[in-house]
A and B are shown apart, each in its own frame.
Chain A
Amino acid sequence: MDARLRRVNKEIADCKNDKASGIKIELIDESPFHLKGIFPGPEGTPYAGGTFLVDIIIPESYPFQPVKMKFITKVYHPNVSSASGAICLDILKDAWSPVLTLKSTLISLQSLLCSPEPNDPQDAEVAKHFTTSKGSFEDTATYWTQIYAGGPGKKGVSTASSGDGKDEVAMAGLEKAHVDQFEALGFQRGKVIDVLRRLNYRGKNVTQISEDRVVEELLK
């Protein structure tokens, strides 16, 4: 049997036998080289209570070349692209070792959720949010966990969300009062959210960004 296949089969079997870690690996289609990883969000973080799905592609030269992983579940985290789910993690690149397994890599992803590295960001906007106001960042990450990963959400927050169940202001990590303020000037709500998010109009930054500057961006 092909060495790569033997190794992957064993990895999948080992993972099945290990119930304690909470990590699961499932087939997506017939191919044993395109898999889905599933792990719970770590306790004591904004991701707690959520279930995170990871797309796994095992390259031809696995395990000598790193496995390719990206989040299927949307995650609000400085080292994960909020748009594509791409992950910035050293072991998925230069620091990969053939000794690492799918399970150990998924555990590393889990611990990446515990300890963001904003200095080596995958998503610059999220990283800025994280560094300027950690509290607000955590609220947003919690909200994303609730919306996308089936998390419990923050008590007393966002339960009022209506329609499709998503509060765009909370999704963007902004404050409703700020969005309302610029919307009242006659700008479209979506555009206001977009601009404020890009300008990182949060926390102490709010006092540093003049209203004119925001309007200037809105007029572009």
Chain B
Amino acid sequence: MSDYSLSDDDYYNDEDMFDITQDDDDMNMDDYTEDFKVDTNSKRKSYEIEYESLNQPAVEKLMQQDVAYIIGILGVDSSIAARLLRHSSWNKERLIEKYMDNPNTILVAAGVTAPEPPSVTSPIRTHIGDRRTTRSASKIISTLSSSSKTSSKASSSSYQPAQTRLKAERFVCPICYDDSSDLQTASLDCDHLFCTGCWTTYITSKIRDEAEHCIRCMAEGCCLVAPDTFIQSALAGEGEPTWARFQELLVRHFVSCNPNLKYCPHPGCTNTVSCPAAASKSSLTTVVPAVSCGARGIPGSPEALTSAVAAKEHYFCFGCPIDSDHRPVVCSVAKMWLKKCADDSETANWIKSNTKECPKCQSTIEKNGGCNHMTCKKCKHEFCWVCMGPWSEHGTSWYSCNRYEEKSGTDARDAQSKSRASLERYLHYYNRWANHEQSAKLSLDLYAKTEKKMEDMQITSSLTWIEVQFMKKAVEEADKCRMTLKWTYAMAYYLARGNEKELFEDNQRDLEQAVEELAELLEQPIEADAIPTLRQKVTDKTVYVHKRNEIVLEDTANGFLEGRWKWNARVEGFDEPDQADLV
């Protein structure tokens, strides 16, 4: 357990630390992608998984490759290939098989051709004015235009502007009832004619209101699907943002069809992560696929450029819907825990409150930082925010704030005291779980204030910019460790009693103590002349905390790989627990 040393960690020596901080200065997406690449290329730890972050153009390139492949095999044009692939959920093999079996069936099902006539695959005609249809098409289309020209089925012979065809009788749009003589009209292959204004509104509504990428003809019962060129023409000009949204929807659909890919769940983000190692369900009992898309904050918001701490990196789980890093606990256990918390939310609500009473004098005390070491303003009593026990007992080896002391069986004779004991047990873990989340948030708030103060100091004192940056790294590290600690409580709640659990809780306690000590340092008042000393202390503690976090993550991850962890409840994907371990 103690085979770590502080000096052999080259990642964390001062120089590296400041290098990283300097990178953050001129922050932009590319820098993050760079950082991120460096991270994955370095030697992987047992709690890390191999993955790659892809931005939207990179995913579009993958899509184009699939389209080009289908063009090559089936000899259709790119717009047909794209619609066939989308219809087949991007399963190329199944598409080819079905197409070979009966091309017409799948062409009709994909909305490329109308059910009749059955034999000819005719190209799409658009009747949107010539000027608009010849506009340069999207990237996807332009790169594939050469292939579409070679398509045997593409022809322009049936192109017939509707305006000339229908000149004799005045056209009335069946949707808006407009009958102006200069009305611009368009139709898909089916010749169901509507005014271009209605097409634009319809396509916009499908994309904006329904997030639909498969846009069918407006005529009742007509199943033809509009090709991308048609949609792009309809959205030219003012509709550009909608066209961009349409392309995002196509990427999202492609990603959702591919088990190796997952779309970043953070709001406004359009990145994708590729992680084949976690694509199968069975892999999720041995690894926690915590990944990051590489971006930070909310894209496009100025926040992403100003405060690196507020703009957190987009961590999420590749294996489950949790949109944060839930290491060290595996997906199925994390899911069970969250469900339990949701079911018991009312009983546990009081814990989240920001105020408690001093255990000695009962005066109200408000928590305003991330540190759990509380000192009552009135009676000076020092206590632990989490367990309300005296602080003097914390930090010594025999005291454990993290471990739940199971009551002996005789204590819980009747059903009522049994259910009381089970609630108490749950609250012990929930309390600590919720507290780490809350503390992390409070430290970030505190840091925002400190950051401002330090920047002011840099102006009034002789300190350099670099010298006031140590706090940022420390806050980030504390935040990361609190997330680990948070999930260790979910894990401990379900761990079967025994040696393994005790070792787990020893590591948990050591990390927790280290984090609390760091948090306490971070809350000290900052004076310019004391900064060099504080900086040394904080940096040392940050290194130590980082190391303790690695131990928890690594040991837990190894335990999963070795099948060492036993549960006290039934967990999806794991062996049935021993009867004696069930709680």
Please give the residue numbers on chain A whose beta carbons come within 8 Å of chain B beta carbons, in ascending order.
Answer: 3, 6-7, 10, 61, 63-65, 91, 95, 97-100
Contacts of A95 in B (CB 8 A): 221
A98 CA / B174 CA spacing, docked (Å)? 9
Top 5 A-B pairs, shortest CB-CB distance: A97-B220, A64-B205, A64-B202, A61-B205, A98-B175
A10 CA / B221 CA spacing, docked (Å)? 23
The 0/1 profile, CB within 8 Å of A marked 1, for residues 187-210 of chain B is: 000000000011001100110010
B218 adjacent to chain A (CB < 8 Å): yes
A61 CA / B208 CA spacing, docked (Å)? 11
Q: Considering residues A6, A10, A61, A65, which has the most beta carbons from chain B within 10 angstroms of its beta carbon?
A: A61
Contacts of A91 in B (CB 8 A): 220
A99 engages B176 (CB within 8 Å) = no
Interface of B is mostly: loop
Known: A64-B202, A65-B209, A98-B202. A7 touches B220 (CB 8 A): no
A63 CA / B209 CA spacing, docked (Å)? 13
B521 adjacent to chain A (CB < 8 Å): no
A6 engages B176 (CB within 8 Å) = yes
Contacts of A97 in B (CB 8 A): 218-222
Which B residues, 143 to 189, have Cβ-Cβ distances below 8 Å to chain A?
174-177
Q: What are 7 pairs between A and B in contact, CB < 8 Å?
A: A3-B197, A6-B177, A7-B175, A65-B209, A97-B220, A99-B220, A100-B220
B175 engages A65 (CB within 8 Å) = no
Which bracket fits the contact residues of B? 10 to 19
**Closest approach, in angstroms, between the C-beta of A142 and any C-beta of chain B?**
32
A99 engages B205 (CB within 8 Å) = no
Contacts of B175 in A (CB 8 A): 7, 63, 98-99
Contacts of B219 in A (CB 8 A): 97, 99
Closest to B204 in A: A64
Contacts of B205 in A (CB 8 A): 61, 64-65
B176 engages A64 (CB within 8 Å) = no
Residue from B177, B209, B222 within 8 A of A10 (CB atoms): B177
A158 CA / B201 CA spacing, docked (Å)? 53
**Closest approach, in angstroms, between the C-beta of B234 and any C-beta of chain A?**
13
**Closest approach, in angstroms, between the C-beta of B103 and any C-beta of chain A?**
26
**Closest approach, in angstroms, between the C-beta of A16 and any C-beta of chain B?**
16
A98 engages B177 (CB within 8 Å) = no
Contacts of B201 in A (CB 8 A): 3, 61, 64
Closest to A4 in B: B176
A7 engages B177 (CB within 8 Å) = yes
Which B residues, 4 to 62, have Cβ-Cβ distances below 8 Å to chain A?
none
A7 engages B176 (CB within 8 Å) = yes
A99 CA / B202 CA spacing, docked (Å)? 11
A95 CA / B209 CA spacing, docked (Å)? 16
Closest to B203 in A: A64
Closest to B222 in A: A97
